[in-house]
Amino acid sequence: MGTPTVFTQVVGLGHRETFRRCVYRYNGDACVKDFGCHDQWLAMAFAQLTFRESLRDLESSLAARSELLYQMGFRSRVRRSTLADANEQRDWRIYADWAQSLIRRARRLYADEPFALELEQTVYALDATVIDLCLSLFPWAYFRSTKAAIKLHTLLDLRGSIPTFLALTEGLVHEVNMLDEVPIEPGAIYVMDRAYLDFRRLARFTDAGAFFVIRAKSNLRFYVGASRPIDRATGLRCDQSIRLRGFYSKQGYPGLLRRVRYIEPEQERSLVFLTNHFGLGALQIAELYRCRWQIEIFFRWIKQHLRIRSFIGTSDNAVRIQIWSAISTYLLVAILKKTLKLKPSLHEILQVLSVTPFEKVPVTELFPAHSTQLDTRDLTDDIPNLFE
């Protein structure tokens, strides 16, 4: 068969049978004669990898090398009208479930990644980012009087920067509502900004045997039960055990909390953290919150390097399909990096893949100075599934 194209090698890392189960779950290919859900996803993944900005741009790029499309896994010609109809009508949950399956694979691969703190527990960061939209084109996503927006809520595993939970909502949905949706893992630590400060919801984490670290608001009312000694030279100002005083706060979280106050040395800001973890050092609590900035970097990265700023469809369904396709493409590149043990950053890998999708060379040869020796079967084991 010869060497498959670079694009085929990348998307071949996804298990075709898993994708079929996602399609079957929502009857995605029911009454479809050609251009099934897999062709649709391949087109959307190609748009992400090669930075296509419009349906016409995508159609022209693929038509330019039409003789390679069958080898790349396409079973139908990609027409912009057909793809637009598919994005409008096919259930977006197919691509959300597909991304979740890739998340599980990526997490296993990155489970041994080093972390800034020597902790046995898994550490997650929970946050959301706003994706701005044009109000005249996306009226269903009303956010403010002059613009529309959607929110991408993400739970990020800080060991490897792999998203483990993703949810898309309209821009008006407040972040704190996601505390009802986030899966709680006993023993894990969840780091959050003060937008998530809801004591009734935070009590769920304690009841489930999980821990949280969250910034406190300035109007917090509490009793101090005990104070632990601190070293002020490290920036710490207090390490206290407290009970809440507010009527509703006390009802929502009647147990003990730990309050740590820390002066950030760079900007000399006073930061106050609340946590239900009494076993870590006070400085470790502050360091855990500092590590939360990895999720801000993740949001900035996907906005800069994935196609989620300009959309090739305007309906709610089309926008969701494009974002889930972007996330699944990010995960495939992350899986590729780990499987081939590539040293370049994800940004560098994406840049190389964007200009070589039709090349018939092993991906390892695109990064000869950076990759380690690896049996190429690790990369091509799943590729025959594309041709079933």
* Mean pLDDT value of segment 206-227: 94
Task: Give pTM, 2 decimals.
Answer: 0.84
Structure tokens at 384: 């025959």
**pLDDT at position 33 over 90:** no
Q: Which candidate, 256, 322, 374, places its Cα nearest to that of 45?
A: 322
Distance (Å, rounded) from C-alpha 51 to C-alpha 65?
A: 17
User: Residue with structure tokens 């089309």?
Assistant: 318
Model confidence at 380, pLDDT cuts 50, 70, 90, reads very low
pLDDT reported for residue 258: 96
Q: Which candidate, 86, 2, 102, 89, places its Cα nearest to that of 47?
A: 86
Report the range of poorest mean pLDDT among 114-118, 181-185, 356-360.
Answer: 114-118
pLDDT reported for residue 370: 52
**pLDDT at position 379 over 50:** no
38 CB contacts (<8 Å, ≥6 apart)?
16, 19, 20, 23, 73, 75
For the chain, what percent of residues have pLDDT higher than 90? 61
Q: Give the tens place of pLDDT for each residue, 81-126.
A: 999 999 999 999 999 999 999 999 998 888 877 766 777 788 999 9
Model confidence at 211, pLDDT cuts 50, 70, 90, reads very high
* Mean pLDDT value of segment 268-281: 92
End-to-end CA distance of the chain: 14
**pLDDT at position 10 over 50:** yes
199 CB contacts (<8 Å, ≥6 apart)?
244, 248, 249, 252, 253
**pLDDT at position 382 over 60:** no
> What burial class does residue 153 get, using C-beta atoms within 10 Å of its C-beta: 0-12 exposed, 13-18 middle, 19+ buried?
buried
